[in-house]
Amino acid sequence: MAANDDSNGPDSYVRLTCPADDDYILMIHDQLRGGGPEFAYRIEVAPVEPELTLGLAEREAFVDVTVPVPQGIVSP
């Protein structure tokens, strides 16, 4: 249903919407079908949470830029 090999770094990332509530089997292996008892894999499975990240370039080195955002303002 999904596969990924190094999502912008050494770790893979897969975002998947399952088609229905059911039991699923998760299988993990490297892209070359290697691995074995001496290899360690770690997974995290979690629902997607809404998130907003905003970054602004520095105007002066090492001085944070702050921008006031009025509460209740919704953009179209």
C-alpha pair distances (Å), 5 with each of 13, 30, 36, 42: 8, 8, 18, 14
* Closest to 11 (Cα-Cα) out of 28, 34, 36, 33: 28
- The single-letter code of the amino acid at 19 is P
Q: What is the pTM of this model?
A: 0.45
User: By the 8 A CB rule, do 39 and 28 touch?
Assistant: no
Token couple for 42: 């770690």
* Residue whose tokens read 């990240």: 53
pLDDT per residue over 16-74, tens digit each? Answer: 888 888 898 888 877 787 777 888 888 888 888 888 877 777 777 787 777 787 887 66
